[in-house]
A and B are shown apart, each in its own frame.
Chain A
Amino acid sequence: MGTAQLIQNLLNGISIGSVYAIFALGYTLVFSILGIINFAHGAIFTLGAYLTYALAVGQFGINGLLSGMSLERQLPFALALLVGSVLAGAIGVLVERFAFRPLRNRGADPLLALVSSLGVALVIVNAIQYLVGAEIYTFPAGVYGELPPALMFQVSGHPVVIRTVQAIIFAVCLLILAVVGYLVRFTKFGKALRAVAENPATASLLGISVDRFILVTFFMSGFLGGTAGALVGTSFGVAGPYFGVTYGLKGLAVIVLGGLGSIPGAVLGGVVIGLSEAFVPADYGAYKEAVAFAFLFIVLLFRPQGILGRKQLQKV
């Protein structure tokens, strides 16, 4: 592998890895607090992409209930992304309120939350299809302004290229990670959040409203998932209501690799899996899908707490 190829793969891997990272953050936040996996997270990812599309472009296609309709007002893309993600976060809150909280209040088997979130995912995905069909929606070329489509430079005589959209996605992801990192590390809110994650019972004794923090967590989780979906959508198009499924699955590998419930772990896991996929030779591209899961399996067998996870003693 030449230097150019190496650099190219690194760039590609970091770019897609950063999206995995913010997507997986949403998973891991919920897990850190509730100890459950929200299987609706992939659907929220999809939803974020559709919401942002509706706000920024607003033209619906030829299938579904809204076929042929278009929204009168469009938002500038950056604002649409923000509002779309906020809405995705709001849906996340609704999901927690109606699908998770009743289970918690009843002290039900935590596994039921998996089933309940699966139900939510079914509802979201099929509602999207019911409304706007399964066709591909794409953002117009100019959503990021009039930038050249790609940057190209030469490394020892070979071309290395970065698509502008990749660079922008990477920048947005970095920004989001910085904000989330700041929130969790340095604010009062973050401390409370970690306290709830550590031990909900003690936290509530300390006067922290656990339910409220869980709601906030679901909002952040939905927001991050929605942003990730919208960003991927601008890069490759919104390929039908099911396009979040692969990310939903890979996200699982990402959070386990980094350490379930660990925020820096989710970021590291995202980048590691993004990079390893980028380094799969194109001829074996068919096996690329399996890379994340091979990682998942091996990590679980040899280091189940993940790269950055803490080793926990078993509670008796």
Chain B
Amino acid sequence: MGHFLDNNGFLLVTLVQQALLAMSLYFPLAAGQLSLASPGFYALGGYIAAIVGTLDYFAPWRASLGWLVFPLEWLLAAAASALLALLVGIPALRLRGIYLALATIAFVEILRVLSLNLEITGGAIGIFGVPQLFESRWGYIAVFGPLLVCTLVFGHRLERSRVGRAFRAIREDELAADAMGINTTRYKVLAFVIGAVLAGVVGAMSAPFLNTWNARQGTFDASIAYLAYVLIGGSRSIWGPLFGGMLLAALPEVLRPLKDSRLIINGLVLVFASIYLPQGISGTLARFSPGKRKGALPAGEPQEDA
């Protein structure tokens, strides 16, 4: 067992981390909002943890708080992500479908260019020597694991709550939901903020996990990768992003023996999975159980604020 974890500890925690990021995209999607902003909040959370962990200005905090500084970083990341998500979300969520996706891609890119150029984010090199919570990489399962469990429980409960029903109503038909008296803007922003806070906290946990943080964390590529996690996993339940994130994140590592051609195969798998698992893994599994839902998310049309 010890050996197995030595070999694969980092990878296993990475799978959990990627599943969490997939979930951060799942929540807005549950309310019908295709937001690709997660990498932006992930990057923000990571920078907050890295800055609080390394900057001299925060040395007294670190000295007086001890290991409690880490939970503080998570809280700060959550708060900052929520705030930024409100600022960005309230105007951006008037957009639908692919338009919202494009706006969030722009948001991620703008944040990336900013962090590449600011002094406090360490420019191109980024921030290194981020203080550690655990000696081994596997140890980080002790933070990512509980977060995963909490998120799963939260997601599961949400689906059955009034808020979850409102999300679903908006997802199925926003105009009808509006007509039914659901405050669609409020719920859309709420879903967006939930995703942002999750991504921000994962980022704050990831900075120590990766030892360093730079502008290469949280990019357009990541945006699309998370989308792939959710859609291949299945976007109709919280289990989808869990399966999708873990399987797809493991793929390049599982294919490692193929050496030079591993990413070619990885790409082919994405194409085939899209075609043959149109409901996602969880959807395909659920097909054999009663009570399945059907219907696809509309691509959406450009819409002026009504």
Asked whether the complex places CB atoms of A and B closer than 8 A, the reply is: yes
Which A residues are within 8 Å of any B CB, using their own CB? 35-37, 39, 98-99, 102-103, 106-116, 118-127, 129-130, 249, 252-253, 256, 260, 286-287, 289-290, 293-294, 296-297, 300-301, 304-305, 309, 311-316
Q: A127–B261 Cα gap in the complex (Å)?
A: 8
Binds A, one of B41-49, B180-188, B192-200, B293-301: B293-301
Q: A256–B296 Cα gap in the complex (Å)?
A: 24
> Which A residues touch B297, using CB under 8 A?
109-111
Q: A107–B278 Cα gap in the complex (Å)?
A: 9
**Interface residue from B99, B116, B275, B298 paired with A116 (Cβ < 8 Å):** B275
Decide yes or no whether B286 CB sits under 8 A from chain A: no
> Which B residues touch A287, using CB under 8 A?
113, 117
Q: A162–B299 Cα gap in the complex (Å)?
A: 43
Q: A233–B98 Cα gap in the complex (Å)?
A: 30
**Interface residue from B227, B273, B304 paired with A111 (Cβ < 8 Å):** B227
- Which of B99, B273, B275, B299 has most A Cβ within 10 Å? B275
Nearest CB on B from A293, distance (A): 4
In chain B between 259 and 296, which residues have their CB closer than 8 angstroms to a CB of chain A?
Answer: 260-261, 263-264, 266-271, 273-275, 278, 296
Summarize B's interface: helix, strand, loop or mixed. helix
> Which B residues touch A126, using CB under 8 A?
261, 263-264, 266-267
Beta-carbon contact of A119 and B274 below 8 Å: yes
> Which B residues touch A286, using CB under 8 A?
113, 116-117
- Known A-B contacts A260-B302, A290-B114, A294-B106; A118 and B224 likewise in contact (beta carbons under 8 Å): yes
Q: A127–B231 Cα gap in the complex (Å)?
A: 25
Nearest CB on A from B283, distance (A): 10
Beta-carbon contact of A103 and B34 below 8 Å: no
A-B pairs with the 9 shortest C-beta distances? A119-B270, A122-B267, A123-B267, A108-B278, A116-B274, A290-B113, A119-B271, A296-B106, A293-B106
> Which A residues touch B64, using CB under 8 A?
none
**Interface residue from A107, A116, A121, A315 paired with B296 (Cβ < 8 Å):** A107
- Which of A103, A129, A253, A296 has most B Cβ within 10 Å? A296
Decide yes or no whether B228 CB sits under 8 A from chain A: yes
> Which B residues touch A120, using CB under 8 A?
267, 271
User: Looking across the interface, which residue of chain B has its beta carbon closest to that of A301?
Assistant: B91
> Which B residues touch A312, using CB under 8 A?
301-303
- Which of B94, B95, B274 has most A Cβ within 10 Å? B274
Beta-carbon contact of A314 and B301 below 8 Å: yes
> Which B residues touch A290, using CB under 8 A?
109-110, 113-114
- Known A-B contacts A290-B109, A293-B109, A315-B301; A300 and B270 likewise in contact (beta carbons under 8 Å): no
User: Looking across the interface, which residue of chain A has its beta carbon closest to that of B244?
Assistant: A115
Summarize A's interface: helix, strand, loop or mixed. helix
> Which B residues touch A122, using CB under 8 A?
263-264, 266-267, 270
Beta-carbon contact of B106 and A300 below 8 Å: yes
Mark B243-265 against chain A: 1 for CB-CB distance below 8 A, else 0.
00000000000000000110110
Q: A98–B116 Cα gap in the complex (Å)?
A: 38
In chain B between 210 and 235, which residues have their CB closer than 8 angstroms to a CB of chain A?
Answer: 220, 224-225, 227-228, 231-232, 235
Q: A240–B110 Cα gap in the complex (Å)?
A: 24
Beta-carbon contact of B232 and A115 below 8 Å: yes
Known: A111-B227, A115-B231. 15 other contacts (CB 8 A): A109-B231, A111-B231, A115-B270, A118-B227, A119-B228, A119-B269, A126-B267, A130-B260, A256-B102, A260-B99, A289-B109, A290-B113, A293-B113, A300-B92, A315-B301
Nearest CB on A from B225, distance (A): 8
Q: A287–B109 Cα gap in the complex (Å)?
A: 11
Decide yes or no whether B85 CB sits under 8 A from chain A: no
**Cβ contacts A to B, 9 pairs, < 8 Å:** A99-B274, A116-B271, A119-B267, A119-B269, A119-B273, A130-B260, A293-B105, A304-B99, A312-B301
> Which B residues touch A313, using CB under 8 A?
301
Beta-carbon contact of A252 and B103 below 8 Å: no
Decide yes or no whether B107 CB sits under 8 A from chain A: yes
Q: A293–B111 Cα gap in the complex (Å)?
A: 10
> Which B residues touch A98, using CB under 8 A?
271
Nearest CB on A from B175, distance (A): 6
- Which of A124, A256, A296, A300 has most B Cβ within 10 Å? A300
> Which B residues touch A300, using CB under 8 A?
92, 95, 99, 102-103, 106
Q: A256–B105 Cα gap in the complex (Å)?
A: 12
Q: A35–B98 Cα gap in the complex (Å)?
A: 9
Nearest CB on B from A126, distance (A): 4
> Which A residues touch B271, using CB under 8 A?
98-99, 116, 119-120, 123
> Which A residues touch B225, using CB under 8 A?
118
Q: A293–B232 Cα gap in the complex (Å)?
A: 28
